[in-house]
Amino acid sequence: MEPEQLAFASEASAWLADNVPRRWVERRSSLVEEEVVQIRMDWDRRLYAGGWAGLSLPVEYGGRGLGLAEEVLFGELAARAHAPDGYGRIGRILTAPTLIARGTDWQRSRYLQKILSGTEFWCQGFSEPSAGSDLAAVKALARRVEGGYRVTGQKIWTSFAFHADKCLFLARTDETAPRYRNLTMLLMDMRQPGIEIRPIRQISGGSEFAEVFVDDAFVAEEDRLGAEGEGWSVAMTVLNSERGGVEAVSRYVEMRTDIDLLLGCCAKLADRIPEAEEFETRLELVRWQVRKAITREGDERAFTSATGVLKVFWSELWQEMTRMGLDSMCPVHRDHWNLAYLDSRATTIYAGSSEVQRNIIGDRILGLPR
Amino acid sequence: MSATLVPTEIGVTAAEAIRDLCARAVGGTPVAEYAEAEPLAWEVLEAGGWDLVGAPEADGGGDATLLDLVLVARAWGETIVPAPFLTSLMAKRWSVAARDCEGPVTFAVADPSWSQPGHVPFGTVAPHLLRSVERDEIVPTPVGKPEPFAPSLRATTVGVVSELTAQAGGELAVVWAAEATGCAERLLAMSVAYAKERHQFDRPIGSFQAVKHTLSSMKVLAETAETAVLWAAIESGHRHRAAAWALDASLDVAERAVQVHGGMGFTWEMGLHFYLRHITVLRQLVRGLPR
């Protein structure tokens, strides 16, 4: 490792040791949902105050101006420290890089610092009742009005909507233009009349995601992200982040806690250590896969190839891990595995189902006929 | 946290050269036509100095890192040319006596499943056997019983087992696993090409999601298997676990390659079985290595 990276790592370890909330490390699975949200929101703010938010984002917007390599390094250390996942993950992982790639200067200075500091939380308004895997079929309609748009429609599976201040909202702006050219990305204020949020009860019993009903809500002209009609291409930028390296590292952090439970206790009890060790090998490969991708950033084809397999790889592994946890019938961690098992059923559905991901690998990476 | 994933120049150069050399020897020829023949003479490898790529610079070697050798072994694995290249390369990396030998070198790896304790890849063609790494001892390769399961490995079983150090065992595990990942890359490419070409129900079979998803899963495995051998090369503490995983993943790819090729995949002449056999034997060899 380079001397600067070594210094970065030792500084990060020391900070994590002092700042990861004990209550999270020790009692994570027995906390009620409100407290989980609170701890996760506080974690975003603590990261920002400590200078650990937005490691790979530019300094001028409150980031650290480092690279994906430091994201991976920090992720590895945060994983070992069993740090929580910040509640602002949509803003941090999806909105921020998209604003940097496609946003205006005004949008960047208006939103980025508030995302990183845990001042404003975001949700992602993509899926609709009849537009799931077929995302281009969104129907929520944004009509041009003086100074901006009036939006009406319904979104579903919107994670974090209940506590969100802002929404990355994909709307149809043209009823006559052809598919893929009729959409526009909007930065919508969730705290306004005309927005109703109904939590959806998930199979785990929790309600992290919701239905969002939008009735004549307003979005100002300057809150359009990209040009009118470019929404599909902006959405692809968002999805690349959602299925890419930074996201995988953040999942690695969460999964590392689970593998440590298995290896330290539950798998031992179930006499299934070799299997758990294989899970650990696969989990470490998530991190190494991102590291390999970094070395290929200059070669678009190789980079896409390396990152394109991540989502399928970590999501399917996580499900196998939680099933082992459940099967172990560990008396100490039973509550945790009950919840984690059910929660992890979502991993192969959200952010592009495994079926869609395999189509993408087949069509775009392997070049198979459609 | 650990060292760089970027190979040095010798690794990149040697891997390219090996790929060229194999292409010249067998490019365009079906594997079934050369797996049991001698398409690449030892003298060609030796003349290029490729067997010394991993040896110390002071002894005329290329001083390649283990990460560099992963690249070389992957390139080699793509064609499974039946020549004692990787065994010689590794023996000459560890042993002065091996470097002084004329001709290829191999070693005997423990394998409890045979009637004799030592399993020798290229035992029928390599005249020298590295008997002990620590004592730097080379002996004439004992005449063994041919073990024909994987023709591309020309193996025998013999009455001795080479004394490899744990360090050598770890490096060899990485290099053989890397070779298997090279096989997997090649099999994936062959399967993708076949799925584009082969038509049923008036459509290329690769357009059916059932086949497409099999190929995509092969891609996931091939990508992560490559990552596993890179990781194994860099972090010595994880060599065996990462190599074992890469070998398993490569075998999974090979099995699915047979499936994607349908009935053709099950024929001798299509030759996929040579890769399947090659990978299974590499797995057995790696399991016999000291840790």
**Under CATH, which number does the domain A243-365 receive?**
1.20.140.10
Kindly state whether residue B266 falls inside one of the protein's structural domains.
yes
For residue A201, the SS3 value is coil
- Residues B145-159 have pLDDT tens digits of 999 999 999 999 999
- Residues B60-114 have pLDDT tens digits of 999 999 999 999 999 999 999 999 999 999 999 999 999 999 999 999 999 988 8
Q: Does B233 have pLDDT greater than 80?
A: yes
Interchain contact, A292 vs B227, CB within 8 Å: yes
Residue A291, Cβ density class (10 Å: 0-12 exposed, 13-18 middle, ≥19 buried)? buried
Buried b (16+ CB within 10 A) or exposed e, A73-88: bbbbbbbebbbbbbbb
- Cα B101 to Cα A47, B72, B96, B108, distances in angstroms: 60, 22, 9, 17
Residue A10, Cβ density class (10 Å: 0-12 exposed, 13-18 middle, ≥19 buried)? exposed
Q: Which position has the token pair 């969730």?
A: A190
B6: closest chain A residue by CA? A295
The verdict on B287 touching A (C-beta cutoff 8 Å) is no
Residue B164 dihedral angles phi and psi, to the nearest 5°: -100, 145
CA dihedral (A53, A164, A355, A84) positive or negative: positive
The CATH H-level superfamily of A122-229 is: Butyryl-CoA Dehydrogenase, subunit A, domain 2 (2.40.110.10)
Q: Which residues pair with A187 in a beta bridge?
A: A168
Rounded to an integer, the average pLDDT of B270-284 is 98
Per-residue confidence (pLDDT) for residue A20, from 0 to 100: 97
- Give the pair of three-digit tokens for residue A24: 């999270």
Q: 3-state secondary structure string, A286-340?
A: HHHHHHHHHHCCCCHHHHHHHHHCHHHHHHHHHHHHHHHHHHCCCCCCHHHHHHH
Whether the CB-CB separation of B15 and B65 falls below 8 Å is answered with: no
Which of B3, B146, B164, B194 lies closest to B87 in space, CA to CA? B164
For residue B130, the SS3 value is strand
Per-residue confidence (pLDDT) for residue A28, from 0 to 100: 82
Kindly state whether residue B109 falls inside one of the protein's structural domains.
no
Q: Which position has the token pair 């939008």?
A: A214
Q: Which of B195, B196, B220 sits opposite A309 (nearest CB)?
A: B220
Q: Does B1 have pLDDT greater than 60?
A: no
Q: Which residues pair with B147 in a beta bridge?
A: B155
Residue extent(s) of CATH 1.20.140.10 domains in chain A: 243-365
Per-residue DSSP letter, A85:
P
Q: Which of A5, A358, A369 sits opposite B213 (nearest CB)?
A: A358
CA dihedral (B74, B174, B4, B52) positive or negative: negative
Query: Looking at this predicted complex, what is its ipTM?
Result: 0.95
The verdict on A289 touching B (C-beta cutoff 8 Å) is yes
The verdict on A295 touching B (C-beta cutoff 8 Å) is yes
Interchain contact, A282 vs B1, CB within 8 Å: no
Kindly state whether residue B26 falls inside one of the protein's structural domains.
no
Q: Which of A285, A357, A361 sits opposite B227 (nearest CB)?
A: A285
Whether the CB-CB separation of A74 and A245 falls below 8 Å is answered with: no
The verdict on B199 touching A (C-beta cutoff 8 Å) is no
The verdict on B207 touching A (C-beta cutoff 8 Å) is yes
The number of residues in chain B equals 291
Q: Which position has the token pair 């946890």?
A: A325
Domain housing B280: 167-287
A362: closest chain B residue by CA? B216
Per-residue confidence (pLDDT) for residue A316, from 0 to 100: 98
- Give the pair of three-digit tokens for residue B243: 């190599």
Residue extent(s) of CATH 2.40.110.10 domains in chain A: 122-229
Per-residue DSSP letter, A207:
-
Kindly state whether residue B99 falls inside one of the protein's structural domains.
no
Q: Which helix or strand (DSSP H or E) is residue A69 part of?
A: helix A68-80
Kindly state whether residue B10 falls inside one of the protein's structural domains.
no
Kindly state whether residue B206 falls inside one of the protein's structural domains.
yes
Q: Which helix or strand (DSSP H or E) is residue A106 part of?
A: helix A105-116
Task: Collect contacts of A188-195 with beta carbons under 8 A, ≥24 apart.
Answer: A188/A125, A188/A151, A188/A214, A188/A217, A188/A219, A188/A223, A189/A165, A189/A217, A189/A218, A189/A219, A189/A223, A190/A123, A190/A161, A190/A164, A190/A165, A190/A166, A191/A165, A192/A217, A192/A218, A193/A217, A194/A218
Q: Does B238 have pLDDT greater than 90?
A: yes
Whether the CB-CB separation of B64 and B53 falls below 8 Å is answered with: yes
CATH number of the domain encompassing residue B282: 1.20.140.10
Query: Which residues of B fall within a CB distance of 8 Å from A368?
Result: 192, 195-196, 204, 206-207, 212, 215
- Terminal alpha carbon distance of chain B: 22
Residue A106, Cβ density class (10 Å: 0-12 exposed, 13-18 middle, ≥19 buried)? exposed
Query: Which residues of A fall within a CB distance of 8 Å from B1?
Result: 1, 5, 9, 73, 76
Q: Which of B207, B212, B228 sits opposite A358 (nearest CB)?
A: B212
Residue-by-residue pLDDT tens, chain A, 370 positions: 678 889 999 999 999 999 999 999 988 878 888 999 999 999 999 999 999 999 989 998 889 999 888 988 999 899 899 999 999 999 999 999 999 999 999 999 999 999 999 999 999 999 999 999 999 999 999 999 999 999 999 999 999 999 999 999 999 999 999 999 999 999 999 999 999 999 999 999 888 899 999 999 999 999 999 999 999 999 999 998 888 888 899 899 999 999 999 999 999 999 999 999 999 999 999 999 999 998 998 899 999 999 999 999 999 999 999 999 999 999 999 999 999 999 999 999 998 999 999 999 999 999 999 9
Quick count: other Cβ atoms within 10 Å of Cβ A205?
A: 11
Query: What's the gap in Å between the CA of B204 and the closest CA on chain A?
Result: 7
pLDDT band at B3 (very low <50, low <70, confident <90, very high): low
Interchain contact, B207 vs A369, CB within 8 Å: yes
For residue B184, the SS3 value is helix
Chain A segment 226-265 residues within 8 A of B by beta carbon are: none
Kindly state whether residue B219 falls inside one of the protein's structural domains.
yes
Q: Which residues contact A6 (CB under 8 A, 6 or more apart)?
A: none
Query: Which residues of B fall within a CB distance of 8 Å from A366?
Result: 192, 215-216, 219
Per-residue DSSP letter, B40:
S
To probe the interface with A, which of B220, B230, B241, B260 has the most A CB atoms within 10 Å?
B220
A10: closest chain B residue by CA? B1
Per-residue confidence (pLDDT) for residue B270, from 0 to 100: 96
Which of A211, A72, A114 lies closest to A155 in space, CA to CA? A211
- Give the pair of three-digit tokens for residue B77: 């694995």
- Domain count within chain B: 1
Distance from C-alpha of A278 to C-alpha of A263, rounded to nearest angstrom: 11
- Give the pair of three-digit tokens for residue A16: 């994590």
- Give the pair of three-digit tokens for residue B130: 């590295």
Active site residues of A: 242
Kindly state whether residue B60 falls inside one of the protein's structural domains.
no
- Give the pair of three-digit tokens for residue B100: 């002084």
A356: closest chain B residue by CA? B213
Distance from C-alpha of B86 to C-alpha of B12, rounded to nearest angstrom: 16
The verdict on A273 touching B (C-beta cutoff 8 Å) is no
